[in-house]
Amino acid sequence: MAAGPDMIADPPRFEQVQPVRLYERIVEQIEAAVARGELRPGERLPSERELVVQFGTSRATVREALRVLESAGLVRSRPGDPRGPEVLQIGVDSLRRPLERLAGAARLSLAQLVVSRMMLDSTANQLAAGLRTEEQLAWIEQAVEVMRTALEEGQDAFSKADMTFHEVIMSIAGNPLIQLGHTAVRDTVLALISDTISDADDSRAVMQRSLTHHEEVLDAIRAGDGVRAARASRRSLYEYYAASVTADERAALEAMLLG
Amino acid sequence: MAAGPDMIADPPRFEQVQPVRLYERIVEQIEAAVARGELRPGERLPSERELVVQFGTSRATVREALRVLESAGLVRSRPGDPRGPEVLQIGVDSLRRPLERLAGAARLSLAQLVVSRMMLDSTANQLAAGLRTEEQLAWIEQAVEVMRTALEEGQDAFSKADMTFHEVIMSIAGNPLIQLGHTAVRDTVLALISDTISDADDSRAVMQRSLTHHEEVLDAIRAGDGVRAARASRRSLYEYYAASVTADERAALEAMLLG
DNA sequence: TTGTATTTGTTCGTATGTATC
DNA sequence: GGATACATACGAACAAATACA
């Protein structure tokens, strides 16, 4: 095979090459082991000194890898624990910090977050309306009942009851991805607007309206009407947040109202 | 003030206390500085040795903090650079790895992933239908045109054109959160079923149907009919995946079809 | 272009406080 | 309570890589 200039048909597409740090290789290996299920939550990693032997690096390098995994919420190491670092159960908290960073860097606007909540909430309601059993319907009814009583007890109790309501819905919808996304987005929204709305002196009226919206959702789910349940949650969120977003961002919220 | 047992009115609610690592404090401070805008993307952090002086810790501790920030995509340090670690522009990619970890650890079923895709796709279509400009409409039309020609060129070209179509839609929808979720879920789905479907010998017919569905979406977006655009994508995904999920899981997919 | 100084990547040794048996 | 093994944190050192004169 003689190689000539005209033999080069495909221009070589080279990838940019970057130095791979040792600690990254360690992170990859441990991460892969967790992903493959070889390391289950509650199990222990070998001690740092043991890892030094297995990976053939220094202690500092192993520790850098462990700090990265720790900040990602995958492991936790405690001084003096002879059993070694613990593999943790992965949860929403692993998404919360990155999400908040993203929102804080102004790459995510409140409107974008609210649109996401409209999507997640309405989908969960639609699924719940279609999949609920009679027993699960009773759970929702009880959650609404708790909200009614909490209305008298003040804002904290009401917002807690509201959270419970949505957790019940999410569990019935049966989709962990939607559930996790919902709590992550909700937390981010709360961190973003903090108490802009909760400071309103007409909080009683706001809570009353919120309760009415939840009762509408309950009605729709009871009737098995997923479309109506989805619409109710979208409108509720729109009412609540529309005044807090800029005019041009509101177009996206309004586009979500259809259907 | 004499202290007696009856003086204790409020029962002391103590929070569980956990050891705070030095590197965490450093991460917090740098993170806060970035969030406050004191450190803009492109700017440089002091060198490691300088940070050692400013924080009053050892270099290993500073390095652990830098590795955590690096893995989070906030900074990048290169050997030999006397200007110090670079502050990076935060992007959606910072959410990708946590999301993939979560999807992998949550043992998501194909049905749950497909439901999520129905949610994300249909929402993006609805937003695009309501927000598109004339120019953006032309982008979509061009993407569909590319799919038509790719139909003749085989499966790889077609699936690539399909990806481009969705990327265009996502960019018009203007919600990075939805966009990110979409690519993450799509990648996970592909990793799950690998080539179960692509090995079908009637791939030509499958591609043809897919093209028809995309044309339906285009029509609806052209007409500004968000509801129809959303419905089209849900039905397309249902048709494509319904046969691959178990019967009881199919109920969730069918619940998503309404609306 | 070459050389030099500085910085990061990595390693080793050590002291200290802590959890488990 | 003591012994052991562990993680935390510090300091010094060398090699490789980069920027700048």
Give, in order, the Cα–Cα distances in Å from B68 to each of A29, A67, B44, B216.
17, 7, 17, 46
Which residue is closest to A78 within chain B, CA to CA? B19
Instruction: Quote the CA–CA distance of B255 and B115 in Å, as a whole number.
Output: 9
Which token pair is A89? 């159960």
Using one digit for the tens of pLDDT, what is the confidence trace for A21-65?
889 999 999 999 988 888 898 888 998 888 999 999 999 999 999
**Nucleotide nearest A85 (Cα, C1'):** D7
Of the candidates B90, B102, B258, the beta carbon closest to that of A226 is on B258
Strand ranges for chain B from DSSP E: 75-76, 86-87
A135 min Cα distance to partner chain B (Å): 18
Residues B215-248: b if buried by 16+ CB within 10 A, e if exposed: ebbbebbeeebbebbbbbbbbbbbebbeeebeee
Closest residue (CA to C1') to nucleotide C5 in the complex: B82
Please report where in the chains the tokens 């957790």 appear, as a residue: A167
Tens of pLDDT, residues A158-216: 989 999 999 999 999 999 889 888 988 888 888 777 655 555 556 788 899 999 999 99
Structure tokens at B110: 């194909």
Query: The whole model's pTM is what?
Result: 0.81
Which domains occur in chain B, in start order? 22-90 (1.10.10.10), 93-255 (1.20.120.530)
Task: Identify which of A177, A145, A183 has the alpha carbon closest to the alpha carbon of residue A163.
Answer: A183
d(CA B64, CA B22): 9
Beta partners for residue A44, in sequence order: A86
Which pLDDT value is given to residue B167?
A: 95
Q: pLDDT tens digits, residue range B15-64?
A: 666 778 899 999 999 999 988 888 999 999 998 989 999 999 999 999 99
Q: Which of residues 17-76 of B touch strand D (CB under 7 A)?
A: 21-23, 56-61
